[in-house]
Copies of this chain bind each other. A is one copy, B any other.
Amino acid sequence: MDVRDRILKAAVSVFSEVGFRGATTRRIARAADVSEITLFRHFGSKGRLLQEAITCEGTHAPRVPLPDDPQDPMRDLLAWSGNQLRHLRERRAFIRTCMAEMEEHPEMLPPGSPPALATRSLADYLRRLKAQGTATAAFDPDIAAPMLMGALFADAMGRDAMPDLYQNDPDRALTQYIEMFLRAIGVGVKTDSSRQDQPA
Distance in Å: Cβ of A19 to nearest Cβ of chain B: 6
Determine chain A's interface SS by DSSP, over half rule. helix
Asked if A147 CB lies within 8 Å of chain B CBs, one says yes
CB-based contact A99/B161 at 8 Å: yes
The stretch from A27-35, A51-59, A169-177 touching chain B is A169-177
Contacts of A19 in B (CB 8 A): 19, 21, 100
Distance in Å: Cβ of A44 to nearest Cβ of chain B: 23
Asked if A97 CB lies within 8 Å of chain B CBs, one says yes
Contacts of A181 in B (CB 8 A): 180, 184
User: What are the interface flags for A144-173 relative to B under an 8 Å C-beta threshold, 1 for contact and 0 otherwise?
Assistant: 101111111111011001101111100011
CB-based contact A177/B147 at 8 Å: yes
CB-based contact B22/A104 at 8 Å: yes
Distance in Å: Cβ of A96 to nearest Cβ of chain B: 5
Asked if A198 CB lies within 8 Å of chain B CBs, one says no
Nearest opposing residue in chain B for A123, CB measure: B165
Q: Tell me which of B100, B113, B144, B184 contacts A96 (CB under 8 A).
A: B100
The oligomer's copy count stands at 2
Contacts of A180 in B (CB 8 A): 137, 139, 144, 147, 181, 184-185
Which size class do A's interface residues fall under? 35 or more
Q: A146-B155, A153-B154 are in contact. Are A164 and B116 (CB under 8 A)?
A: yes
| CB pairs A–B below 8 angstroms (14 shown) | A17-B104, A19-B19, A19-B21, A19-B100, A22-B104, A113-B162, A116-B164, A139-B179, A140-B168, A143-B173, A143-B176, A147-B151, A147-B180, A150-B150
